[in-house]
Amino acid sequence: MKNIFLLIILFPAFAWAQSLPPYQPSAAEEKTAYQQASQLDSIIRGKAYKTTVKPHWQANNKSFWYKNYLKDSTVEYILVDAAKGTKSPAFDHEKIAAALKLSDSKHLPITDLLIEKSSLKFAVKEQWYEYKNGQCTQIKTPLVSTAQTAFRNISRWSFHDDNTASDTSSPNKEWVTSIHNGNVFLKATGATDSVPLTTDGNIDQPYGALQWSPDSRYFVGYRIRPEKIGSIHHLLSSLPEQTRARLDTEEYAQPGDPFTSFEMFIFNPSDKKATKVNTPLYDFLGKPYLRWRKDDSRYFTYEKADRGHQRFRIIEVDAANGNTRDLVDEKTKTFIYESRIFTHYLEATNEIIWSSEKDGWYHLYLIDAIKGTIKNEITKGPYVVRDIDSVDEKKREIWFKASGMNPGEDPYNIHYYRINFDGTQLVSLTKENAQHNLSFSPDRTYYLDTYSRPDLPPVITLHRTTDGRQIMEVETADLHDYFATGIRLPEVFTAKARDGQTDIWGVVCRPRNFDSTRRYPVIENIYAGPQDAFVPKTFMTFSEMQSLAELGFIVVQIDGMGTANRSKAFHDVCWQNLADAGLPDRILWIKALAAKYPYVDTTRVGLYGTSAGGQNAAGALLFHPEFYKAAVSACGCHDNRVDKQWWNEQWMGYPVGPHYAAQSNVINASKLKGKLLLIVGEADNNVPPESTYRVVDALIKANKDFDLLVVPGMGHSDGGPYGRLKKRDFFVKNLLGVTPPDRN
């Protein structure tokens, strides 16, 4: 009944839309459109002013200067007094030009400034000058007292240590270790004889990667079982000044390939014994990174993400006996996003800050590293912690970025916050409905907030860090000349997902001269890789989407279900399901766009993408040919068994099962309907070219019609300038029905 009611409501709009004639330019009109599209980038370049502020803080941490590029590339230098909330010219531009004997004061080539009470020092092409009493004198590079940084940015530790080299001397210099014939030997410094601590090692499966404890009481080593990584090959056909192609070979692990494993042992120099640690093999992406407890180096911890990405642990090892316990043990039925796990070890208090999506959203937790329990959830609610800016261990505060906390706002917009370790005193540092990017003064007393959206030009404001209070507006983008070119800002558009509840966000680009009484074909710029979200959230002076729209298209970009930066449930749609690519949500979104704007023609929809987007674009014609009619697929990972191990196992899981083949564009190539252009670079070392060639082979065997562009010598790319030109021609021919200009 609900669907019937919806049909009754939408039918008049649908009928109206169908009554509009399609946009169908003549060959001459399209040739003009090509010329306008090719000129667009140069026309708008340099027309948007005051869109950014790069602050150069002075040593007092209370003032900074920056440079504005204005019309005709003229330059002005501005000084901001943050304490007073004022700004003014950093110096008299005409006087400096005169002192430098330059006739042009509007294009001063100054690259650095040092503003002092009695003089001005500045650099021009690495030569420093001092300006005083109307005169410029060359000086040596000054010893600048730089502003001090109070906080350091935090990045998570790596799970893995790829360095398998061994420590040879203990920290106290009393012991020396060595490896002979795959076994561990120990001797006192200065002694001639070494004592074997292992006897079962050999050249094929040696012991190694030894690491001492800070107090020299123990060292850790591993029985290593090496695995050779398989190879991929590239035939470089068109090398200059050579008459033969060259075969290049490199190591490349694919899903299901084995990894070198590490069996952990503890060695005790005092009793010359080796103890096997009571822990599973470390068999995923190298050996573990060890952290010895600062107040008692009898204990160390390491992190372990199991292959298949469904379990993550922080494991503590007792070096005295090899016993272990799990401080953190997280399991999931889908996936844990391994590369986004954040851990920060608070050595002074034996605590760990750890991130998890275990409550359905990406949040931070405080762990008691002695008890192995969660003390409290630091952040909580239906929003996503996006990144950790810094950690203040003395004040017990975390500075972080998050999105989705503000109701009614684009849930992808990044805002900045700080919060106490115990989850109290959440302070928002950004207010406006926009994407924010903060730049702090070195001592964190002040910060600059640059905020914008695709449909909102940038604004830069200065704030006080203690309470977030705005001190002044530093700049607002000047787009007068930019808009004079006729360019339109993209529209931010939302529609419901396949569940009828979740908002799907995207952007819409229209031609500068589009006619709302005509129906325009739609082209989607698709990338559904689950590692992130991809719709732009900030102001863009130029994009390929806008340039492509100039040819007579409505060009859109959408983040469907299965991409990141939303809830865990939203993201889980991709699990063992990359062929889905959020396409059901994307189709509904485009249909909703057409319901609002009758000039959107859903009978002529195409899409293009690169890499995972190449897989998505081709897959759309295989799995949803009722909606998508044309696709340009560049260097696609068309079969997830052929692509790189670390990326595909993260989303498709391990072991490699029949679901890999079921979702392969190669296996499903015979389903092709519509028009397809495949692009591949013969030297692609990201996604092996054979991923595309296998699709080509399957299409030929299925007697399908398609286009193929192989670019000699090119790596992982959309085809470069020529590939982008062919993409335009392809859509003009197959969606507009117009013959592209003859360039021969």
Model pLDDT, residue 133: 86
37 and 68 housed in the same domain: no
- pLDDT tens digits, one per residue of 294-321: 999 999 999 999 999 999 999 999 999 9
User: Looking at the structure, do residues 607 and 703 belong to the same domain, yes or no?
Assistant: yes
Q: Which of 96, 117, 139 is the last residue of a domain?
A: 139
The span from the CA of 417 to the CA of 415, in Å, is 7
Residues near 101 by beta carbon (within 8 Å), at least 6 away in sequence? none
Q: Which tens digit of pLDDT belongs to each residue from 9-18?
A: 445 555 555 6
Please give the share of the chain, as a percent, with pLDDT higher than 90.
90
Measured in degrees and rounded to the nearest 5, phi and psi for residue 424 equal -100, 170
The verdict on 31 and 73 lying in the same domain is: no
Residues 30 and 92 in one domain: no
Do 397 and 431 fall into the same domain? yes
Please indicate, yes or no, whether residues 17 and 67 belong to a single structural domain of this protein.
no
Question: Which whole-number Å values give the CA distances from 617 to 508, 529, 586, 625, 689, in the listed order?
Answer: 18, 12, 12, 11, 17
Q: Could you tell me if residue 178 is inside a domain?
A: no
Residue 592 placed within a domain: yes
**Is 157 domain-assigned?**
no
* Identity at 98, one-letter amino acid code: A
Last residue of a domain, one of 116, 139, 162: 139
Full residue range of the structural domain in which residue 366 is found: 342-435
Backbone φ and ψ of 367, nearest 5°: -110, 135
Average pLDDT, the chain: 94
Per the structure, how many domains does the chain have?
3
CA atoms within 13 A on the CB side of 482: 18
Torsion region of 157: left, alpha or beta (phi above 0 gives left; psi -120 to 50 gives alpha): beta
| pLDDT tens digits, one per residue of 84-124 | 999 999 999 999 999 999 999 999 999 999 988 878 999 99
Same domain, 574 and 643: yes
Task: Please state whether the peptide bond connecting residue 536 to the residue before it is cis, i.e. omega within 30 degrees of 0.
Answer: no
Please determine, for residue 154, whether its predicted confidence score (pLDDT) is greater than 60: no
pTM: 0.94
Give the pLDDT confidence score for residue 142 in this predicted structure: 87
Asked if 556 and 700 sit in the same domain, the reply is yes
Vertex 648: Cα angle to 715 and 629 (nearest 5): 70
Element (H, E) at 405: none
Residue 315 in domain = no
* One domain, residues 520 and 498: yes
Mean predicted confidence (pLDDT) in 215-234: 96
Q: How confident is the model at residue 5 (pLDDT cuts 50, 70, 90)?
A: very low
Q: Of 139, 164, 180, which residue constitutes the final position of a domain? A: 139
Asked if residue 662 and residue 569 are part of one domain, the reply reads yes
- pLDDT tens for 18-46 read 689 999 999 999 999 999 998 887 888 88
Of 617, 626, 638, 627, the C-alpha closest to 524 is: 617
Q: What is the pLDDT of residue 170?
A: 96
Q: What is the pLDDT of residues 447-502, one digit of tens each?
A: 999 999 999 999 999 999 999 999 999 999 999 999 999 999 999 999 999 999 99
Taking the chain, what is the end-to-end CA distance rounded to the nearest angstrom? 58
350-372 mean pLDDT:
98
Same domain, 675 and 617: yes
Whether 151 is covered by a domain: the verdict is: no
Q: Where does residue 668 rank: exposed (0-12), middle (13-18), buried (19+ CB within 10 A)? A: buried
Inside any domain, residue 384: yes
User: Is residue 23 a part of any domain in this protein?
Assistant: yes
Do 424 and 540 belong together in one domain? no
| Cβ neighbours around 175 below 10 Å, total | 20
Q: Is residue 441 part of a domain?
A: no
DSSP 338: G
For residue 271, which amino acid is it? D
Amino acid 150: pLDDT? 46
Average pLDDT for 585-603: 98
Mean pLDDT calculated for residue range 211-227 = 97
Question: Does 330 score more than 90 pLDDT?
Answer: yes
Asked if pLDDT for residue 429 goes beyond 70, the answer is yes
Give the model confidence (pLDDT) of 632-670 as tens digits.
999 999 999 999 999 999 999 999 999 999 999 999 999
